[in-house]
């Protein structure tokens, strides 16, 4: 008995079930905010921390699997915990802990779905994500995958009385299902004629290149749709902002990573050796998504939509890293591929922390002000210092600034791009460095976006009088934000330790990990032969020492007198808060520079207009160019076949009869 309890897989299973039970307990008192908030969400947070702990310890244990004979007859559930699953389970647990703590203080009365029911959906969502990571056969994978999609759909439509939210939810569900069909088909190809849908059978199947490629492309379509890769991204900026903030945080921070997990699992594990040019497709899609996402993020005026577009950017970065790893692995450059994969995993972990932190920050702002529009916020750092400073950590991290965590993974990815010149294929080795430049452009634009995000919400003067009454977040919300912020800082300051762990993760995928230099714990030397090193702790320490010394020196040699006065008004004398840059104004250089990306409709008032109105509507060219024609096509086809629906039962019986006869004829 003690033996089995030490099995991390069983422990994980137990904890995921516990999440389910916590969720079900919400139904005991469905209308009670206090019961869900004070009891159940903290319990869920404890489970999350436990999942993270178990997953972290299981990195050191060998992979294990079990077969549970539950569910349909002859379709037992296969579960497997290897280090890749562990890494993503850790991500799930660690991020969910912070989010659940925050959620404990977040939900208020009267937000559509009753709190108890939402508690059930929320914990079911968490548990199903865990099962996606553990599944070892296509059947249980799809079951968990669909549960994940459905439970998150209900969470997105929490405020189901608002028509926009309903249609956002519908779009999400639609694209999730089209993606799921592609994943199902991909599994169908990968079983390779054995008709065994366990992942073990898929690993053993020998596919010929054409079939392997089609399986890869189907998986790319399916997982790409879930991840929000351009051009399958349209649901993401609708659905993520529609959900309550903790749910947005889970969806952006964690759920998108399950798609990444699926992509890694299929490409490097189930399909065996990837073909190098698959990577180019992923790289192109990923880099385009990164740029597309960040450019649209810069133009947004709704703070949650801005973050949703920023998620598209980060998904793009992640998938381009996977693409790079495929190119390297396919051309036999194992070390470079390891580096790229570690960068991807690191960035996934980072993004889980920083994006959750930012979404929760917007949640706190939303609660305090009731406002999502950047044009009506401002100056909140005075009223909500806790939220502001903790959100600043997330903003700086996601902008990729050292010594925080976002920088480390981008640095690793750039370092792996530097191997590009060794790729044997001509031209590819020249194009790849340009990919690195695109990546840096996206990362630098992310800095722009985050200055806009933080500056417009928290800095400057309040743009509305009502903001003066905004209140800071409660204890639970602060604790949740702080958990995630500390995660960002630690992941940033201790990269050598994190990478040593991530090196274990990629071993089951056939990579040896990096030849890390264990000499000094404070210095990251990912590739000793390249002599590159990075020591964020030195950055941190030197900056800190210099700041302290400078402050001390200024006080010692001079004085510390400070006088408060009005801001300088150039002699105009009637400055007001409307004269600050708006969110539109801050996005204007981006709209100007990247005009071809936008479908923009503008109304510019004439100079003599007594009541001037300025309006700009920014549309998505892909939505207009791809989705609307597709939708019209589907409708036309549906209209064309509608005559089949006669409404008479005898006709329908005839259809059944014809079908049966045809099937019989085919079988015989």
Partner 1 sequence: MTALFDWLAQILGILAAVLAAPLFLGWVNQCRAWLQNKSAPSILQPYRGIRKLFHKDAVIAANASQLFRLAPYMVFGAMVTAAAIIPSVATRLPFTQAADAIALVGLFATARVFVSLAAMDVGTAFGTLGARREMMIGFLAEPALLMIIFVASLISATTALPRISELLATQSLALYPSLAFTAVAFTMVLLAENARIPIDNPATHLELTMIHEALLLEYSARHLALMEWAAALKLFNYVCIGFALFVPWGLATSQAPLALALSSLFLGAKLVLAGAGIALIETVSAKLRVFRAPEFLATAFLFAVLGLLVRLLLGT
* Length of the chain counted residue by residue: 668
- Whichever of 141 and 411 has its CB closer to partner 1, that residue is 411
- Whichever of 161 and 559 has its CB closer to partner 1, that residue is 559
Report phi then psi at 135, rounded to 5: -60, 140
The answer to the question of residue 346 lying near partner 1 (CB under 8 A) is no
> How far apart, in whole angstroms, are the C-alpha atoms of residue 85 and residue 135?
9
Positions 125 through 184 that interact with partner 1 (CB under 8 A) = none
> How far apart, in whole angstroms, are the C-alpha atoms of residue 585 and residue 562?
32
Pairing assessment for the beta strands 77-81 and 64-68 based on DSSP bridges: antiparallel
The answer to the question of residue 399 lying near partner 1 (CB under 8 A) is yes
Positions 424 through 483 that interact with partner 1 (CB under 8 A) = 429-430, 433-434, 436-438, 440-441, 443-445, 447-448, 450-452, 454-456, 459-461
Count Cα atoms within 13 angstroms, Cβ side, for 32. Answer: 13
CB of 490 to partner 1, least distance (A): 18
The answer to the question of residue 401 lying near partner 1 (CB under 8 A) is yes
How far separated are the first and last CA of the chain, in Å rounded?
54
Using alpha carbons only, give the angle 168, 174, 180 rounded to the nearest 5 degrees. Answer: 135
Radius of gyration of the chain (CA): 26
- Report the SS3 class of residue 524: strand
Q: Site map for partner 1, 347-386, x if CB under 8 A?
A: -------------------------------xx-xx----
Positions 408 through 427 that interact with partner 1 (CB under 8 A) = 411, 414-415, 418, 421
- Whichever of 437 and 604 has its CB closer to partner 1, that residue is 437
- Among 396, 470, 501, 505, the residue binding partner 1 under the rule CB under 8 A is 396
Tokens of 278: 């698959």
CB of 253 to partner 1, least distance (A): 22
> How far apart, in whole angstroms, are the C-alpha atoms of residue 312 and residue 295?
10
Positions 89 through 118 that interact with partner 1 (CB under 8 A) = none
> How far apart, in whole angstroms, are the C-alpha atoms of residue 197 and residue 55?
26
CB of 525 to partner 1, least distance (A): 8
Q: Are 229 and 286 a contacting pair, CB within 8 Å?
A: yes
- Whichever of 546 and 654 has its CB closer to partner 1, that residue is 546
User: Site size for partner 1, by CB under 8 A?
Assistant: 80
- Report the SS3 class of residue 552: helix
Positions 15 through 34 that interact with partner 1 (CB under 8 A) = none
Tokens of 440: 């840096």
Count Cα atoms within 13 angstroms, Cβ side, for 378. Answer: 18
CA 366 to chain CA centroid, nearest Å: 21
CB of 620 to partner 1, least distance (A): 22
Per-residue b/e over 431-465, b at no fewer than 16 CB within 10 Å? ebeebbebbeebbebbbbbbebbbbbbbbbebbbe
Q: Are 364 and 453 a contacting pair, CB within 8 Å?
A: no
> How far apart, in whole angstroms, are the C-alpha atoms of residue 486 and residue 101?
14
CB of 519 to partner 1, least distance (A): 11
Q: Are 324 and 417 a contacting pair, CB within 8 Å?
A: yes
Q: Are 587 and 300 a contacting pair, CB within 8 Å?
A: yes
- Whichever of 46 and 618 has its CB closer to partner 1, that residue is 618
Positions 588 through 607 that interact with partner 1 (CB under 8 A) = 588-589, 592-593
- Whichever of 515 and 629 has its CB closer to partner 1, that residue is 515
Q: Site map for partner 1, 557-586, x if CB under 8 A?
A: xxx-xxxxxxxxxx----x-x-xxx---xx
CB of 350 to partner 1, least distance (A): 14
- Whichever of 79 and 525 has its CB closer to partner 1, that residue is 525
The CB density around residue 617, as the number of other CB atoms within 10 Å, is: 10
Q: Are 52 and 93 a contacting pair, CB within 8 Å?
A: yes
- Whichever of 551 and 658 has its CB closer to partner 1, that residue is 551
Positions 499 through 558 that interact with partner 1 (CB under 8 A) = 523, 530-535, 538-539, 542-544, 546-547, 550-551, 554, 557-558
**Angle between helical axes of 276-299 and 428-458 (0-180°, round to 10):** 30
CB of 401 to partner 1, least distance (A): 4
- Whichever of 475 and 532 has its CB closer to partner 1, that residue is 532
CB of 472 to partner 1, least distance (A): 14
- Whichever of 602 and 624 has its CB closer to partner 1, that residue is 602
Cα dihedral sign for 399, 402, 408, 411? positive
- Whichever of 93 and 492 has its CB closer to partner 1, that residue is 492
CB of 473 to partner 1, least distance (A): 17
CB of 597 to partner 1, least distance (A): 15
Per-residue b/e over 40-65, b at no fewer than 16 CB within 10 Å? bbbbbbbbbbbbbbbbbebbebeeee
CB of 381 to partner 1, least distance (A): 5
> How far apart, in whole angstroms, are the C-alpha atoms of residue 156 and residue 97?
20
- Whichever of 579 and 601 has its CB closer to partner 1, that residue is 579
- Whichever of 562 and 644 has its CB closer to partner 1, that residue is 562
CB of 79 to partner 1, least distance (A): 41
CB of 517 to partner 1, least distance (A): 11
């Amino acid at each position: 008995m003690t033996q089995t309890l030490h099995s991390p897989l069983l422990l994980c299973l137990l904890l995921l079930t516990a999440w389910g039970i916590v969720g079900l307990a919400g139904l005991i008192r469905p209308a009670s905010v206090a019961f869900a908030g004070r009891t159940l969400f903290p319990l869920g947070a404890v489970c999350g921390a436990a999942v993270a702990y178990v997953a972290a310890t299981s990195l050191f244990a060998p992979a294990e699997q079990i077969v549970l004979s539950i569910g349909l007859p002859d379709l037992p559930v296969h579960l497997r915990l290897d280090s890749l699953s562990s890494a993503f389970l850790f991500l799930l647990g660690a991020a969910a802990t912070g989010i659940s703590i925050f959620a404990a203080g977040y939900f208020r009365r009267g937000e559509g779905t009753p709190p108890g029911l939402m508690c059930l959906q929320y914990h079911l969502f968490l548990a199903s994500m865990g099962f996606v990571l553990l599944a070892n056969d296509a059947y249980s994978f799809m079951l968990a995958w669909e549960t994940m999609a459905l439970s998150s759909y209900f969470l997105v439509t929490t405020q189901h009385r608002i028509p926009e939210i309903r249609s956002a939810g519908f779009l999400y569900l639609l694209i999730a299902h089209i993606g799921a069909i592609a994943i199902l088909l991909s599994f169908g190809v990968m079983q390779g004629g054995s008709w065994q849908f366990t992942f073990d059978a898929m690993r053993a199947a020998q596919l010929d290149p054409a079939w392997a490629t089609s399986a890869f492309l189907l998986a790319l379509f399916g997982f790409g749709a879930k991840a929000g890769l351009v051009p399958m991204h349209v649901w993401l900026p609708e659905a993520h902002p529609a959900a309550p903030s903790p749910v947005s945080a889970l969806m952006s921070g964690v759920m998108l990573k399950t798609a990444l997990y699926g992509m890694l699992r299929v490409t490097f594990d189930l399909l065996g050796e990837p073909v190098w040019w698959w990577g180019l497709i992923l790289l192109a899609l990923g880099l385009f998504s990164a740029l597309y996402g960040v450019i649209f993020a810069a133009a947004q005026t709704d703070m949650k939509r801005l973050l949703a577009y920023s998620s598209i950017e980060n998904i793009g970065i992640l998938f381009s890293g996977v693409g790079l790893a495929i190119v390297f692995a396919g051309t036999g450059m194992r070390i470079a591929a390891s580096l790229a994969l570690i960068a991807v995993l690191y960035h996934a972990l980072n993004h889980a922390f920083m994006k959750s932190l930012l979404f929760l920050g917007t949640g706190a702002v939303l609660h305090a002000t009731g406002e999502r529009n950047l044009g009506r916020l401002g100056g909140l750092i005075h009223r909500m210092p806790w939220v502001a400073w903790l959100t600043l950590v997330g903003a700086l991290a996601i902008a990729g600034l050292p010594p925080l965590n976002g920088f480390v993974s981008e640095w690793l990815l750039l370092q792996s791009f530097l191997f590009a010149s060794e790729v044997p294929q001509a031209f590819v080795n020249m194009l790849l460095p340009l990919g690195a430049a695109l990546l840096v452009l996206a990362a630098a634009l992310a800095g722009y976006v985050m200055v806009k995000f933080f500056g417009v919400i928290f800095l400057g003067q309040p743009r509305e009088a009502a903001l003066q009454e905004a209140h800071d977040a409660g204890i639970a919300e602060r604790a949740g934000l702080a958990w995630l912020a500390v995660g960002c800082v630690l992941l940033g300051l201790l990269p050598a330790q994190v990478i040593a762990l991530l090196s274990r993760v990629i071993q089951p995928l056939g990579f040896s990990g990096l030849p890390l230099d264990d000499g000094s714990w404070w210095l990251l030397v990912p590739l000793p032969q390249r002599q590159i090193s990075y020591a964020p702790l030195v950055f941190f320490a030197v900056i800190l020492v210099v700041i302290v010394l400078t402050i001390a020196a200024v006080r010692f040699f001079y004085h510390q007198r400070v006088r408060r006065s009005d801001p300088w008004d150039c002699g105009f004398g009637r400055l007001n808060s409307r004269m600050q840059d708006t969110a539109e104004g801050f996005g204007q250089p981006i709209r100007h520079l990247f005009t071809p990306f936008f479908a923009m409709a503008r109304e510019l008032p004439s100079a003599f207009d007594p009541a001037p109105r300025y309006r700009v509507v920014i549309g998505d060219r892909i939505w207009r160019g791809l989705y609307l024609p597709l939708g019209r096509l589907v409708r036309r086809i549906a209209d064309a076949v509608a005559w089949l629906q006669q409404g008479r039962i005898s006709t329908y019986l005839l259809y059944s009869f014809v079908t049966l006869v045809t099937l019989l004829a085919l079988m015989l």
